[in-house]
């Protein structure tokens, strides 16, 4: 568990208002709540749902296939034309992982490390949901992330943000293993004579502790800015704030889909066009929603393979 000193350091870094809101909502996070928005159901917290899904898949003869699918990683390569990209960043490659839900990976990440180890990239970003559950311990999550970092090698390091499965107390442990977590913060990336910025938000989905204005406070208005947000739910405000590219996950692309990748449930309050893959909001801001590298509820996937994304900036 995290010590008081680490909490005080977090408080000094992000402010007591952000920290107390986060901690309060973490305490409130439960399977079913009445809120001003109505009844909030957190499917991932309903343990019996996982058991029911397992029974259903077994009854249909699909459990073995769905389980194997959860580690059949597909590397998606995306060419990203960015307006105003500084010349030194042409050809810059970003490895994008999302929704790892580390403790549920059946082979403890062996296959994932193999696939990542075969790739070349300049920067790695992880758009939240490191942990499998949304509550309880996170020591195993941190231990598994430490193992995964042994396969990630790139000159500009690993940047991460928190998702709705992650507690803010996980930040010191993740950073101890080489990640730089962005909590409504930004970091400049220098290459050649040029600079671009990676802007990272706290969870945009459940916790609502994202603060884009705060994250942008040190970023020059004219700079190239790539946003890391856990979910695709703040596209409009991100576009208005002048983001050049929006990277997210959270939806898992539906995870258990109908043939053709048609999602049944995606847990996101946004249009279907933003649930998975590349999109372009009003032809003003391109973005990409990862189907996720891991799986929620159970390590199973149907018609929606887990993905490792390589973004090539051009
Ligand atoms: Fe997730």
10 Å CB burial of residue 229 (0-12, 13-18, 19+) is buried
What distance in angstroms lies between residue 44's CA and the mean position of ligand 1's atoms?
9
Q: Which residues surround ligand 1, an ion (CB under 5 A)?
A: 99, 129
What distance in angstroms lies between residue 291's CA and the mean position of ligand 1's atoms?
9
Residue-level pLDDT at 29 = 75
CATH number at residue 149: 3.60.21
What distance in angstroms lies between residue 98's CA and the mean position of ligand 1's atoms?
7
Tokens of 274: 């933003």
pLDDT tens by residue, the chain, 314 residues: 677 888 899 999 999 999 999 999 998 875 455 555 555 556 665 667 888 889 999 999 999 999 999 999 999 999 999 999 999 999 999 999 999 999 999 999 999 999 999 999 999 999 999 999 998 899 999 999 999 999 999 999 999 999 999 999 999 999 999 999 999 999 999 999 999 999 999 999 889 899 999 999 999 999 999 999 999 999 999 999 999 999 999 999 999 999 998 888 877 788 889 999 999 999 999 999 999 999 999 999 999 999 999 999 99
Residue found by looking up tokens 């459990």 in the block: 63
What distance in angstroms lies between residue 191's CA and the mean position of ligand 1's atoms?
32
What distance in angstroms lies between residue 85's CA and the mean position of ligand 1's atoms?
30
What distance in angstroms lies between residue 169's CA and the mean position of ligand 1's atoms?
18
Q: What pTM was estimated for this model as a whole?
A: 0.93
Residue found by looking up tokens 């990272």 in the block: 200
Q: What domain range includes position 283?
A: 4-313
Q: Count other C-beta atoms under 10 Å from residue 261's C-beta.
A: 16
Residue-level pLDDT at 37 = 55
What distance in angstroms lies between residue 83's CA and the mean position of ligand 1's atoms?
30
> What span, in angstroms and rounded, lies between the C-alpha atoms of 87 and 314?
9
Domains identified in the chain, total number: 1
What distance in angstroms lies between residue 288's CA and the mean position of ligand 1's atoms?
15
């Amino acid at each position: 568990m995290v010590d008081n000193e680490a909490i005080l350091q977090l408080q000094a870094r992000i402010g007591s208002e952000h920290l107390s809101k986060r901690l309060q909502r973490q305490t409130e996070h439960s399977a079913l709540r009445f809120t001003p928005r109505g009844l909030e159901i957190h499917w991932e917290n309903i343990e019996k749902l996982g058991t029911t899904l397992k029974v259903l898949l077994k009854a249909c003869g699909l459990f073995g296939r769905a389980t194997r699918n959860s580690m059949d990683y597909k590397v998606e390569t995306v060419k990203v034309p960015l307006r105003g990209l500084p010349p030194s960043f042409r050809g810059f490659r970003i490895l994008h992982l999302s929704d790892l839900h580390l403790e549920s990976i059946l082979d403890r990440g062996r296959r994932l490390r193999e696939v990542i180890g075969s790739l070349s990239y300049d920067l790695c970003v992880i758009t939240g949901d490191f942990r499998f559950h949304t509550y309880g311990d996170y020591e195993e999550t941190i231990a598994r992330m430490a193992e995964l970092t042994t396969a990630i090698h790139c000159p500009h390091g690993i940047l991460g943000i928190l998702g709705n499965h992650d507690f803010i107390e996980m930040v010191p442990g993740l950073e101890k293993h080489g990640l730089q977590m962005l909590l409504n913060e930004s970091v400049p990336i220098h290459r050649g004579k040029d600079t671009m910025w990676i802007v990272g938000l706290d969870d945009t989905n459940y916790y609502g502790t994202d603060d884009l204005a705060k994250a942008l406070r040190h970023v020059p208005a004219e700079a190239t800015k790539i946003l890391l947000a856990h979910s695709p739910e703040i596209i409009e405000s991100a576009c208005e704030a002048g983001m050049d590219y929006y990277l997210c996950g959270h939806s898992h692309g539906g995870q258990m889909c109908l043939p053709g990748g048609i999602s049944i449930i995606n847990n996101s309050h946004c249009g279907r066009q933003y649930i998975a893959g590349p999109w372009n909001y009003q032809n003003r801001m391109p973005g990409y929603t990862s189907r996720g590298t891991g799986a929620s509820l159970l390590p199973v996937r149907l018609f929606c393979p887990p993905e490792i994304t390589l973004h090539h900036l051009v």
